[in-house]
Structure 1
Amino acid sequence: MTLVSVVDNLPYRKLAAAHVPLVASTLYDIGVSVPARTFGETRMALFCFYCRDGEDSETLREMHLKEQRKHMAEHSENYLAAGPLTNKQGEFVGSLLIIEAEDEASAREMVNDDPYVTGGVWQSIRVDKFEPVKGRWKDR
């Protein structure tokens, strides 16, 4: 089975169709239910989206920046952290998003609508559940 045929059967199909192929490491726990932390009355979990830029990302970032910031503002309650990743020269190479959501499907749905996804800035996205054991987020 090819990665493409596997991706076609995943809940992240919309993102893959938006020219953002999943990396193989994200396939390990698709469909596996992992207990989430309780936040108030709602069960919330953290998900890290490691987004790598594609070709022409500098131009595409500039084109979609205003829309992307608006999208983040509309979902600000879900963004625990978000920002660019840079190389040694200070050039953008991607983004890291830490999203708080009830489940992975909800987090993915929000990222699917991000203008950097729909605008082709990111060429690949790796998604992992994050369980803080130290630091400010440990007892959130």
Structure 2
Amino acid sequence: MTQAPTQTQQYVLIAYDGTDADALNRRMAARPAHLENTRKLKADGHFIEGGAMLDENGRMTGSVVIVAFPSREELDTWLHNDPYVTGNVWQKIEIKPFRCVQL
């Protein structure tokens, strides 16, 4: 018997860094671990696209990430363990259901 593929829901995350004087230092300190976590996310088929939001001077101030997970609970588990969350980099996170266009 063939098992049906697991359905996934896509989500867009808009995550804002803190605005205090040490915010960029926290981001840079957590960045290598965050990128390694993102590589694993991609290898597991959950990462669709993402990158840093920049201010008018080109400094990183947050992130936009598009991911796919079978459930919101699985997304939350990943998110709560990401180094940008545990390292207090992202201080405000918006999560919305999303659907990438298929061209």
TM-score range (shorter-chain normalised) is: 0.7 to 0.9
CA distance in structure 1 between the partners assigned to 2:29 and 2:76 by the alignment: 23
Displacement after TM superposition at 1:131 (Å): 2.2
Match of 1:78 in 2: 46
Match of 1:120 in 2: 88
CA distance in structure 1 between the partners assigned to 2:47 and 2:27 by the alignment: 19
* Aligned pairs for 1:13-32 within 5 A: none
Match of 2:78 in 1: 110
Matching residue within 18, 31, 51 for 1:65: 31
Displacement after TM superposition at 1:100 (Å): 0.6
For structure 1, the residue ranges without an aligned partner over 5 or more in a row are 1-39
Task: Indicate conservation of the 8 Å contact 1:48/1:97, yes or no.
Answer: yes
TM-score for the superposition, normalised by structure 1: 0.64
Displacement after TM superposition at 1:62 (Å): 1.3
Q: Which has the higher contact order (CA 8 A, sep 6+)?
A: 2
- Give the AA of the match of 1:79: F
Q: What is the Cα-based RMSD across aligned positions, in Å?
A: 1.5
For structure 2, the residue ranges without an aligned partner over 5 or more in a row are none
- Give the AA of the match of 1:119: G
Displacement after TM superposition at 1:57 (Å): 2.0
Q: Which runs of structure 1 show a deviation greater than 3 angstroms over 4 or more consecutive aligned residues?
A: none
Match of 1:47 in 2: 11
- Give the AA of the match of 2:53: L
The structure with more strand, counted as a fraction of residues: 2
Residues 73-119 of structure 1, C-alpha deviations (whole Å, 9 max, x = no match): 12112110111001222111100111111122211211111100000
3-state SS in 2 of match to 1:81: strand
3-state SS in 1 of match to 2:25: helix
